[in-house]
Amino acid sequence: MNQPSFSSRRILRPVRPWFIWLSLVFALLLNLMPLGRTPMLPDWVALVLCFWCVREPLRAGMGAAFVFGLLMDIGYGSLMGQHALAYVLLAYTAGTFSRRILWFGPLQQSLHVLPMLVGTQLVMLCVRLSTDAEFPGLGYFAGSLIATLLWHPISFVLLLPQYRPEDKDENRPI
User: Would you kindly state where each structural domain of the chain is located, as residue ranges?
Assistant: 17-162
DSSP readout, 61-73?
SHHHHHHHHHHHH
Distance CA 93, CA 83 (A): 15
pLDDT of residue 165: 64
Counting Cβ atoms within 10 Å, is residue 60 exposed (0-12), middle (13-18) or buried (19+)? buried
Counting Cβ atoms within 10 Å, is residue 27 exposed (0-12), middle (13-18) or buried (19+)? buried
Specify the amino acid at residue 12: L
Half-sphere exposure of 52 (CA within 13 A, CB side): 28
Helix (H) or strand (E) segment spanning residue 114: helix 106-130
Number of residues in the chain: 174
Tell me the whole-structure pTM to 2 decimals.
0.86
The answer to whether 158 and 51 have CB atoms below 8 angstroms apart is yes
pLDDT of residue 27: 96
Distance CA 79, CA 137 (A): 19
pLDDT of residue 13: 82
**Tens place of pLDDT per residue across the chain (174 aa):** 444 444 455 677 888 899 999 999 999 999 999 876 677 889 999 999 999 999 999 999 999 999 999 999 999 888 899 999 999 999 999 999 999 999 999 899 999 999 999 999 999 999 999 998 899 888 889 999 999 999 999 999 999 888 766 666 677 665
Q: What class, spelled out in words, does domain 17-162 have in CATH? A: mainly alpha
